[in-house]
Amino acid sequence: IKMFRTQKYQSKEAIMAKLKLKLVHLYPLFLNIYGDIGNVKVLKNRCEWRGIELDIQQFNIGDKLDFGTDIFFIGGGQDFEQQVLLEDLHQGKDNEIRSAIQDGLPFLTICGGYQLLGAYYETYDGHRCDFIGAIDFYTVGSARRMIGNYSFQCGDHSGGSTVIGFENHSGKTWLGKSVQPLGQVLKGCGNNGEDGSEGVRYLNVFGTYSHGPLLPKNPELCDIILRGKKIANDNELLIAVQFEKNNIVISNDKNKKLSVCSLTGKTG
Ligand code: GLN
């Protein structure tokens, strides 16, 4: 195929060379069960398929957070691990995470990592973990282990797709009145097995009980997360490549054409 570029547009290569995002993976040594790291791999792949490089940086206990970041990921973990990281969390990471959320940074948080963003988790054996308090919800451990394959339907604010996953938690999460769930349970327990809600959607935070991992089975949700405020605000980050007659048209998320290449030799 012979390709010619029209003068007034940038080349596809020039556009894509600029597209770099950074993902922060918090506490991967402590919060990473049931293949949660698979979510990070899917985010990376789906960025790369669009010519966007995703630089992944891991931060564990003792590491200072670097907020020159675009996406934030926290996986799930047992009660024990959640208690082990508490001291580190309250040495500054809690404040930084609270303000990053208010600034609209996209977060994907799973199970124990999701619980971390609420006010507290009271384990079934009576330990109280004071968490970040970035979003109005709390979690209380119960005798019942909510375990098994489950599904839920995302709210319209989060794309409306049907998500399938796996849950395993004893914590029951209760959302404050001002906070919306990520979706409604179709099968299984979700937040608490009682009110039909699943996860949380707050600004650009997506919190869910879905392990499995979540994103390989639910790519539509992955793309909704990638459209978080900070990314969509940048004109050149989200790229659509379409075929129009004999041309390849590359446009950004706001439908602005960035480049047009002819497949036939005739410029379009
Ligand atoms: N320890 C928490 C609970 O049981 C979270 C578990 C998890 O991340 N799977 O509720």
What tens digit of pLDDT does each residue of 217-268 get?
Answer: 999 899 888 876 544 444 444 555 555 666 666 665 556 666 666 555 443 3
Q: Is 78 in the pocket of ligand 1 (CB under 6 A)?
A: yes
- Give the ranges where the chain is alpha helix by DSSP (H): 12-17, 37-48, 79-84, 86-88, 94-102, 112-115, 214-217, 219-226, 229-233
Q: Is 170 in the pocket of ligand 1 (CB under 6 A)?
A: yes
Q: Specify the ligand 1 atom closest to the Cα of 78.
A: 1
Mutate to test the pocket of ligand 1, among 27, 84, 108, 111 (most ligand atoms within 8 A of CB): 111
What tens digit of pLDDT does each residue of 132-157 get?
Answer: 999 999 999 999 999 999 999 999 99
Task: Tell me what percent of the residues of the chain surpass a pLDDT of 70.
Answer: 78
Which residues are 141's β-sheet partners? 171
Residue 266: count of CB within 10 angstroms of its CB: 11
Q: Are strands 20-26 and 4-5 parallel, antiparallel or unpaired?
A: unpaired
Q: Which among 57, 119, 68 is positioned nearest to 94, based on CA atoms?
A: 119
Burial of residue 101 (number of CB atoms within 10 Å: 0-12, 13-18, 19+): buried
Band (52; pLDDT cuts 50, 70, 90): confident
Q: Is 181 in the pocket of ligand 1 (CB under 6 A)?
A: no
| Closest C-alpha residue for ligand 1 atom 3 | 169
What tens digit of pLDDT does each residue of 94-130 get?
Answer: 999 999 999 888 999 999 999 999 999 999 999 999 9
What tens digit of pLDDT does each residue of 61-70 get?
Answer: 999 987 688 8
* Residue 24 one-letter amino acid: V
Residue 57 contacts residue 24 (beta carbons within 8 Å): yes
Which residues are 248's β-sheet partners? 243, 261
